[in-house]
Structure 1
Amino acid sequence: MFTAHALSLALLSAAALGTLALCVQLFCVLRHRWDTSEPVTGTGPTERLSGISILKPLCGVDDDLEANLECFATLGHPAYEVILGVKDTRDPAYPVALAAVARWPDVMKLEMQHGEPGLNPKVNQLITLAAAARYDLLLISDSNTRVGPGYLEEISRAFEDPSVGCVSHPVSGVGEQSLGSLMDNLYLCSTAAAGQIAAKRAAGQDIVVGKSMALRREAVEALDGFYSVRNVLAEDFVIGQWMRRYSGQRAVVARSPVYNVSQKKSVRTFFQRYVRWSIIHHSCIPTPLYLAQSILNPLPWALLSAALSPSTPTLAMAGGVAVVKGLHDVIVFRIMRPGQKTPWMTLPAVLLKDALLFVAWAHGLVVRSVNWRGHSLRVMAGSRLVTPSPERPLSPALPEPQRAAELLAG
């Protein structure tokens, strides 16, 4: 039986291991952003770059949506289109989309969603958008993102290698005007983006992020289209796993980030989002791995260790972990946001963020249901969605494609 001292020592060891992992993660981020061994964009003629169809589902009016769309209307790529999607004319994004199409008719077009085949509203739109796309590279792009120069060129160059089946981008958060958005942007930079980069560089693991995910049309069609993930909440994770297991092609993590615009989120909205995200994440990975990943948020474990066995060494260790974690997050935050200011309250926000994320992680350990856009859904293995609501049962007349079923079962 564990004594308080033994448990304190175990927690302190976990915190120390997590702190070391963060140092490795920081090194990977530095190397990824500053590595010049491979060009970000090629040197060949631009007229040979592949055409790209950008699929951009809209739902509601995101922070600064008009400016986000303008960014994608002026990318300068020789052959691309932006297909905006809304569910119906009642969506507040509908007039914004109409105005964007009127302003940039040569680049943008609007598609209304056809039917409602599944429980994932984003995928329901992607099914319609993919059918309307004219190019062979399909780029899923969230409506709250912006990108930098060379974004489409980097994607097109990557697909010149026939072994590449997917290009995804690390996500950087920008635009914070509230504490909730500052914590959101901190998480995207220091946890999501840093984790994606480190997983690829240190462990060779592909983490595909749906904020910006480019795929070959033939790969999507081999998956039986986006229809196969219509009842999956983490469709980007499932598609990334499918690419590795079935297509034999590899995923590439682009060097340039995409910028997620988060301006005025409340602390409550931040917390609710990551409570839901923790449930989704746990559904996608084995419980032992979910437990192990918690050490990447080492400060709560160090503080619990000090509370169980308060002493000068444990308190000093907890203080050291706090310093390292704070520095890690602030440095990665600055690296992933070139040219952006770092708010004075960033360091205190790191500590509050980590405390709330720890509570969200614990919630995801035991809960399997989410409320998402007005629907009560249960998240099964592989983030497959089911609903207890009788008005939206899963239809047995619409069988899942065999490969997607095998993936979700595995």
Structure 2
Amino acid sequence: MIYTLYGFAIFFFIFWCAMWLLHIIAIFYGKYRLHRKVPSLPSDEPYPGVSILKPLMGVDPHLVSNLESLFTMTYPVFEILFCIEDEKDPAIDVVNALIEKYPKVHTNIFIGGSTVGVNPKINNMNKAYEATSYDLILISDSGIRMREDTLQDMVEHLTEKTGIVHQMPFTSDRNGFAATLEKVYFGTAQSRMYLAADCLRVNCHTGMSTLMRKAVLEEQGGLKTFGCYLAEDFFIAKSFIDRGWKTAISSQPALQNSGFCDVNSFQARLTRWAKLRVAMLPTVILFEPLSECMVIGGCAAWAASLLFHWEPLVFYLVHILAWFLCDWILLSTVQNGPLPFKRFDFIIGWLFRECSGPYLFLLAVVHPEIRWRNRIFRLTWGGIAQEVKPRIKC
């Protein structure tokens, strides 16, 4: 029995050390990789054309400004293909108004989608994908706000051996506790794993803003091939990697700028992502809870008291303080400027996120079915999705 306890103690302490290594990698790699100007293409080499797929559903208070940021990009050659499933969707009027305002931008609207799998996003985009004109495809979610040079930054990271360039998820500056909570999560817990994974060449791809080579997709049957997955972004990246292509993050994080921002919907989003991770990588059930500050801190404090006879409470409090300071440094690195909230707001948001994280993961394991808008999906091991009570179209 005593050997078993010592075995667990050694495991927890080594895992704790590994987490601190990830902290260090994320901070230094973030300073090296993010907000760093890359060399432009030679003046005699034209920039390749890019087809932008923009799936839309409904209108939120920031939709107009988010979509307009696409029209005002300084990239020389691109087209915007809007994908709208419902012909009565009010987003159509928003798009038409912007097309009228910016007549020189090449745009098109695809209404109705096509059923090629269970993934609503793939179904919505497939018609537009098949009509794309250029060899590079950018998938950009409706809530993403682009800077004038974002697309240029992404293309300049696309080397001969790179098949996918994606933006690390982050958020725009917004007001309110929910916005603070989102920025804290994406600038700390999410960024830590994302940056460390990219540095170590581990698949961390998220599809909210991603540039990819169409020819590689076509080799696999096109976008519709991934319609059987809800986490299509992970499996698209995996298929590229399996074929010898590299993936990379661009220097600019993705600025999520949804007009609807509340704590409950954000936590539901985190829970849905956890369910996807569990289905795709079952080992997540063991290791993800241990990556949480409060959980691994408690385990490491017990391990240190058993192995080295250190005071566990002091160890635990120092651990939390050090983790907090590292997260502040990382968030400041990702933000690359003054934070839009006070330090006290950061403390409250950080504590709320760290304390609620293990509970949300447990909730994801206990209730594995995924609710996406008005649909419910069940995942099998390996990430393949099945819709529960599919909608019937007349």
Specify if TM > 0.5.
yes
Provide, for residues 277-334 of structure 1, a one-character-per-residue CA deviation record: whole Å limited to 9, x for no partner. Answer: 10001112132x442233332223324777999x982222221222122222222222
Structure 2 residue corresponding to 1:223, chosen from 216, 220, 234: 220
| Residue in 1 that maps onto 2:286 | 291
| Residue in 1 that maps onto 2:59 | 61
The answer to whether the Cα contact below 8 Å between 2:122 and 2:224 also exists between their aligned partners in 1 is yes
Unaligned runs of 5+ in 1: 394-410
The alignment status of 1:121 with 2:120, answered yes or no, reads: yes
The change in CA–CA distance for 1:15 and 1:158 in structure 2 (over 3 A counts) is: closer
SS at match of 1:251: strand
| Residue in 2 that maps onto 1:243 | 240
The number of aligned residues is 386
Identity of aligned residues (%): 23
Query: Amino acid of the residue matched to residue 254 of structure 1?
Result: S
Query: Amino acid of the residue matched to residue 136 of structure 2?
Result: L
Query: Amino acid of the residue matched to residue 86 of structure 2?
Result: D
| Residue in 1 that maps onto 2:97 | 99
Query: Amino acid of the residue matched to residue 170 of structure 2?
Result: S
Alignment of 1:145-294 (within 5 A): 145-159=144-158, 161-201=159-199, 203-245=200-242, 247-262=243-258, 264-287=260-283, 289-294=284-289
Query: Amino acid of the residue matched to residue 142 of structure 1?
Result: D
In structure 2, C-alpha distance between the alignment counterparts of 1:183 and 1:4, rounded to whole Å:
39
The answer to whether the Cα contact below 8 Å between 1:146 and 1:260 also exists between their aligned partners in 2 is yes
In structure 2, C-alpha distance between the alignment counterparts of 1:113 and 1:336, rounded to whole Å:
38
Deviates more, 1:148-157 or 1:235-244: 148-157
The change in CA–CA distance for 1:86 and 1:264 in structure 2 (over 3 A counts) is: closer
Quote the offset at 1:263 in angstroms: 5.6
Alignment of 1:233-382 (within 5 A): 233-245=230-242, 247-262=243-258, 264-287=260-283, 289-303=284-298, 313-344=311-342, 345-382=345-382
TM-score normalised over the length of structure 1: 0.84
Quote the offset at 1:80 in angstroms: 0.7
In structure 1, C-alpha distance between the alignment counterparts of 2:296 and 2:138, rounded to whole Å:
40
| Residue in 2 that maps onto 1:26 | 27
In structure 2, C-alpha distance between the alignment counterparts of 1:43 and 1:11, rounded to whole Å:
48
In structure 2, C-alpha distance between the alignment counterparts of 1:269 and 1:91, rounded to whole Å:
22
Deviates more, 1:125-134 or 1:335-344: 335-344
SS at match of 1:143: coil
In structure 2, C-alpha distance between the alignment counterparts of 1:390 and 1:79, rounded to whole Å:
40
The change in CA–CA distance for 1:392 and 1:332 in structure 2 (over 3 A counts) is: farther
The change in CA–CA distance for 1:46 and 1:113 in structure 2 (over 3 A counts) is: farther
The change in CA–CA distance for 1:391 and 1:50 in structure 2 (over 3 A counts) is: closer
The change in CA–CA distance for 1:267 and 1:6 in structure 2 (over 3 A counts) is: farther
The answer to whether the Cα contact below 8 Å between 2:69 and 2:148 also exists between their aligned partners in 1 is no
SS at match of 2:382: helix
Query: Amino acid of the residue matched to residue 361 of structure 1?
Result: F
Quote the offset at 1:238 in angstroms: 0.4
The answer to whether the Cα contact below 8 Å between 1:200 and 1:253 also exists between their aligned partners in 2 is yes
The answer to whether the Cα contact below 8 Å between 1:297 and 1:354 also exists between their aligned partners in 2 is yes
RMSD: 3.0
Alignment of 1:380-391 (within 5 A): 380-389=380-389
Query: Amino acid of the residue matched to residue 364 of structure 2?
Result: G
Provide, for residues 341-375 of structure 1, a one-character-per-residue CA deviation record: whole Å limited to 9, x for no partner. Answer: 34120122111112222112223334421111111
In structure 1, C-alpha distance between the alignment counterparts of 2:259 and 2:145, rounded to whole Å:
13
Quote the offset at 1:258 in angstroms: 1.9
In structure 2, C-alpha distance between the alignment counterparts of 1:158 and 1:303, rounded to whole Å:
41
In structure 1, C-alpha distance between the alignment counterparts of 2:52 and 2:41, rounded to whole Å:
23
The answer to whether the Cα contact below 8 Å between 2:165 and 2:210 also exists between their aligned partners in 1 is yes
Quote the offset at 1:103 in angstroms: 1.6
Query: Amino acid of the residue matched to residue 91 of structure 1?
Result: D
Quote the offset at 1:337 in angstroms: 1.8
In structure 1, C-alpha distance between the alignment counterparts of 2:231 and 2:70, rounded to whole Å:
25
In structure 2, C-alpha distance between the alignment counterparts of 1:206 and 1:60, rounded to whole Å:
31
Alignment of 1:391-402 (within 5 A): none
Deviates more, 1:290-299 or 1:70-79: 290-299
Unaligned runs of 5+ in 2: none
The answer to whether the Cα contact below 8 Å between 1:169 and 1:258 also exists between their aligned partners in 2 is yes
The change in CA–CA distance for 1:158 and 1:22 in structure 2 (over 3 A counts) is: closer
TM-score normalised over the length of structure 2: 0.88
In structure 1, C-alpha distance between the alignment counterparts of 2:224 and 2:235, rounded to whole Å:
13
The answer to whether the Cα contact below 8 Å between 2:53 and 2:137 also exists between their aligned partners in 1 is yes
Provide, for residues 180-214 of structure 1, a one-character-per-residue CA deviation record: whole Å limited to 9, x for no partner. Answer: 2222222222233332221121x222322201111
Quote the offset at 1:40 in angstroms: 1.5
SS at match of 2:51: strand
Deviates more, 1:80-89 or 1:60-69: 60-69
